[in-house]
Homo-oligomer: A and B are copies of this chain.
Amino acid sequence: MTDPRHVPPSAGPRYQQVADALARDIARGLYEVGSLLPTEAQLCTLFNVSRHTVREATRRLVDVGLISRQAGVGTRVKARTTAARYTASLGSLSELVEYIHSTRLTLLSAGSVAADARLAETLHCRRGQRWFQLRTLRYPVDRSEPIAYTEIHVPPQFRDIEQDIDGGTVSILRQIELRSGERVVEVLQEIGACAIPAPQARLLGVAPRSPGLQVLRTYRGAGERTLCASLIVSPAHRFTLSTRWRLEQGAPIGPHAPADRASPAPA
């Protein structure tokens, strides 16, 4: 019942049928990876459609990465099949950072520090590197038990960022972006478990060495310059991080609302 060659002439618009046929032929190996597809003119006669239709068809295949076009050269086969890619995406940095909307921050301290051995390892920087450090606690608006302890580190030249940090890391990032003219280009995130050290445990109202989630985020501009690094420590069960990975189909149809977000653990 499942003969792959039995594929009915695919339905839908002509360009889709052409695209499907080409994709099938590529998968079949009729057109090998690296070789050139027939020219658009040839495809026109081959499928008996206008050039516009051929281009609409090949455009789809370009979009899914099967082929690429180059003026003056031709249309080259890039891959035999569309690789399965799973992606997660964020609408903005705030979705990564503001794990709970209705939270408030309190600033514990702000000052210049030099990285000791532990901090250097955590932030992947040289020992002795100087940072301007903000230490904060994040609370749900309606409770007095903090969710997380956060250390935010920025390069010393940004030490005079406005310290109304209620906007959290995002507003700090925005200020840095404005002042440096750089854009956050990538965020490296490392998640692990830890035994919460006594000082933080005291702040968070849990027993020393009790289980905690530790999230390190390094915000980088172009050229791998670190614009900000934040370290979050949160007792177990106070929140979880969720990410939704979705298969990226060839044709990105339909709305997707994937988001990495953190959600509070049920109380």
- A residues touching B (Cβ–Cβ < 8 Å)? 62-63, 65, 83-96, 170, 183-196, 209-214, 234-237, 239-248, 252-263, 265-266
Q: Point out the residues of chain B lying under 8 angstroms from A210, CB to CB.
A: 195, 211
Q: Point out the residues of chain B lying under 8 angstroms from A194, CB to CB.
A: 193, 211, 236-237
Q: Point out the residues of chain B lying under 8 angstroms from A240, CB to CB.
A: 190-192
Query: In the assembly, what is the distance between CA of A189 and CA of B234, in Å?
Result: 18
List 10 A-B residue pairs with CB atoms under 8 Å apart, sorted by A's residue number: A87-B90, A88-B260, A189-B244, A191-B241, A192-B213, A192-B237, A192-B239, A194-B237, A211-B211, A243-B243
| Cross-chain contact B244 with A170 (CB below 8 angstroms) | no
Q: Given A189-B242, A245-B186, A260–B252 Cβ distance below 8 Å?
A: no
Query: In the assembly, what is the distance between CA of A89 and CA of B248, in Å?
Result: 9
Query: In the assembly, what is the distance between CA of A184 and CA of B83, in Å?
Result: 13
**Cβ 8 A contact of A256, one of B234, B239, B259:** B259
| Cross-chain contact B94 with A85 (CB below 8 angstroms) | no
Query: In the assembly, what is the distance between CA of A187 and CA of B84, in Å?
Result: 13
Q: How far is the CB of A127 from chain B (nearest CB, A)?
A: 16
Query: In the assembly, what is the distance between CA of A65 and CA of B212, in Å?
Result: 39
Q: Given A184-B247, A248-B89, A65–B193 Cβ distance below 8 Å?
A: no
Q: Given A186-B244, A211-B211, A242-B190, A90–B86 Cβ distance below 8 Å?
A: yes
The 8 closest A-B pairs by CB, nearest first: A211-B211, A192-B240, A193-B213, A193-B236, A87-B89, A187-B245, A86-B90, A255-B259
| Cross-chain contact A89 with B85 (CB below 8 angstroms) | yes
Q: Point out the residues of chain B lying under 8 angstroms from A212, CB to CB.
A: 193, 211
Q: How far is the CB of A118 from chain B (nearest CB, A)?
A: 13
Query: In the assembly, what is the distance between CA of A240 and CA of B193, in Å?
Result: 8
| Cross-chain contact B254 with A259 (CB below 8 angstroms) | yes
**Residue of B whose beta carbon sits closest to that of A261:** B91
Query: In the assembly, what is the distance between CA of A214 and CA of B191, in Å?
Result: 11
